[in-house]
Amino acid sequence: MRNVMSSLFYTEIIRTIRNTKIFKHTQQRRWIYSTNKCFSVQETTDVEYDVPVETIRNFSIVAHVDHGKSTLADRLLELTGAIKANSGKQVLDNLQVEKERGITVKAQTASLFYSYRGKNYLLNLIDTPGHVDFSAEVQRSLAPCQGVILLVDANDGVQAQTVANYYLARDKNLVIIPVINKVDLKNANPEKVKDQLQALFDVEHIDVIKISAKLGTGIDKVLDAVVERIPPPIVFRDKSFRALIFDSWYDKHKGAISLIYVKDGALSVGKHISSSHMQKSYEVRSIFLLRPHAENVKTIFAGQVGAISCNMKSKEAYIGDTLHLRHQSVDSLEGFKPPKPMVFAGVYPMDQSQFTSLQAAIDKLTLNDSAVTVTLESSVALGRGWRIGFLGLLHMEVFIQRLEQEYGAQPIVTAPSVTYKAKIFGSKNITKYQNDVITFNNPAHFPDMQIVSEFYEPMIIATVITPVKYLSDITSLCREKRGVEKLNKTIGNDRLMLQYIMPLSEVILDFHDALKRISSGYASFDYEDYDYQVSDVVKLDILLNGKIVEELSTIVHKAKAIQTGKKLCAKLLETIPRQLFEIAIQAAIRSKVIARETLKPYKKDVTAKLYGGDVTRRKKLLAQQSEGKKKMRMIGKISLPRDTFISVLKK
């Protein structure tokens, strides 16, 4: 073998790894990485990493958004030799939207080899998103893990998502390694952050690792802690093959690719597997580890994380499904509780001729984002489209941005709404709806108020972490959004953790922006579902010359109906083109008008041709014009361009 390292130290590493029966190989050259250098070995096209279970560590990095997860992941990849130093920012952030927004949207996996005290370890790293809207990605990422790195910014300290991720990892009984990042910053205060973590963990002393992912200092201590503190997975290689699908994506050459965690046994290329959920069988065409780039392997063993291609159709790659060998019955692994969409919006093609292509794009994207729900709907103004459910506003924005960037689509997106419930009475009504409680998220499906005894709206528990000096303004904001205080707790000397129960509908539009504005960006926000509560919601209709325009209707709380009605009327006044007759723009609850604007008609001077003479002639012409406009207003059809609907309906 050609030796690519001259030093005795690296020669010894090569000898150690050769003697350790991790790699089974013949023939072709391929680069294998260890510590921070690389060397080539002789092997087949498909490598086989038969790594002992006790040397496997599966872990995740969790943190609040922008605390440095992806940068730390890059340093871990560099230190273990998976990528070259300074090979680019955020290697695991593959999506264009991730690079543009500077956030992680999809969880990514990388299998790393690390030598510790003369022994070689396989570390399966799963990078996770930090934003609250992608908490479902975090939960799926933790399924194969036995531990997590809880990363905290030395300047920002404990934030709302830090708390959420801590409790998520604790509930799953995972080993938590607290790491304080960005200690190189001028205003960094790691000791203060350590006190906050001790308050969060509710312990007197906590062993934290202080690092700078940007400069690469302290990264080796993180890897050492992963090996020392996180236990190997509890798996059984002598049992029949069993694996959990915890992510999937679409590849235009290979079809659906499934990311799996092997719980028992092993799987080799050419084997036939079955799906517990879909009850279908497939032949395994290829298996590969992500290092972070795909590397084909011949076999994947229990305890390992990898991806498989088996000609599975997009809709058959069910996240949370259990895979097993064909004709062998096994108990299904515990899957995932499907994430419940919180925000709904209508999505329509810009032109109906693009309906089929947009539908294909949505189908492929939902394979990679199982948290999205899609149902067909139609609109008189916008044509055929879909009602799509998302986990939050950022989730919606990222989904639409991916449609545009990855598939070249130009969808129209309506304003977001939430799902309401209504309790109806009367045996005939209950029979009609087949239940005494109905759900709806579209104003067009709002039930007749005469048959409803109570309405319910979704509530959340909002967690806000803020410096003490912004308490007054944040309290006012939460009360304005109909919030009720649940918790007020001190974290450290100058930070507070507040919890409010508030309606989701008040949060999805502008709460986060308002919070950042009044706190100068220092407050952080997270939320979780808190079921439904009785609420006084109404359907707000928009009328043009007395006729309801169903597409412009919306659902609001009664206390904010007048304010919302005035805003809608004012916006329509700006966007509706002037007609030959006057248009009354009204907002109404049932038959009661609560707001109005009047769009004046084009003005034509019918008396311009008169040159003096009797005044009665002038009056007669004006009277005829007035009568004609009144008649036109009664029978005239208001012409509303599609752009008007788009302007009012879009988010």
Cβ atoms of residues 360 and 380 within 8 Å: no
Task: Name the H helices within 2-94.
Answer: 8-19, 69-79
70 is in an annotated binding site: yes
Give DSSP secondary structure letters for 168-179: HHHHTT-EEEEE
Q: Which two tokens stand for residue 499?
A: 């919890």
Query: Measuring CA to CA, how many Å separate 225 from each of 101, 177, 190, 209, 257?
Result: 31, 8, 19, 9, 32
- The phi, psi pair for 88, rounded to 5°, reads 140, 155
Q: How far apart are the first and last CA of the chain?
A: 62
Nearest-5° Cα angle at 90, 84 to 91 = 50
Cβ atoms of residues 63 and 161 within 8 Å: yes
In this structure, the strands spanning 56-63 and 147-153 are parallel
Distance of CA 132 to the CA centre of its chain: 7
Nearest-5° Cα angle at 315, 312 to 316 = 45
In this structure, the strands spanning 147-153 and 175-181 are parallel
- The Cα–Cα gap between 537 and 526 comes to 25
Cβ atoms of residues 483 and 500 within 8 Å: yes
127 is in an annotated binding site: yes
309 is in an annotated binding site: no
Task: Name the H helices within 203-321.
Answer: 219-229
> Within 13 Å, how many C-alpha atoms sit on residue 164's CB side?
28
Buried b (16+ CB within 10 A) or exposed e, 53-88: bebbbbbbbbbbbebbbbbbbbbbbbbbbbbeeeee
631 is in an annotated binding site: no
Radius of gyration of the chain (CA): 30
- By C-alpha distance, which of 382, 388, 386, 380 is closest to 352? 382
Give DSSP secondary structure letters for 548-607: E-GGG-EEEEGGGHHHHHHHHHHHHHHHSPP-SS-EEEEEEETTEEEEEEEEPPP---TT
182 is in an annotated binding site: yes
Please list the residues that pair with 200 across neighbouring strands.
Answer: none
128 is in an annotated binding site: yes
- By C-alpha distance, which of 143, 612, 511, 562 is closest to 337? 143
- Token pair 């912004």: residue: 470
Q: Which helix (H) or strand (E) holds 114?
A: strand 108-116
7 is in an annotated binding site: no
481 is in an annotated binding site: no
253 is in an annotated binding site: no
Length of the chain, in residues: 651
66 is in an annotated binding site: yes
* 3-class SS string, 249-274: EEECCCEEEEEEEEEECEEECCCEEE
351 is in an annotated binding site: no
269 is in an annotated binding site: no
307 is in an annotated binding site: no
- The Cα–Cα gap between 177 and 227 comes to 11
Please give the annotated binding residues for GTP, written as ranges: 63-70, 127-131, 181-184
Please give the annotated binding residues, written as ranges: 63-70, 127-131, 181-184
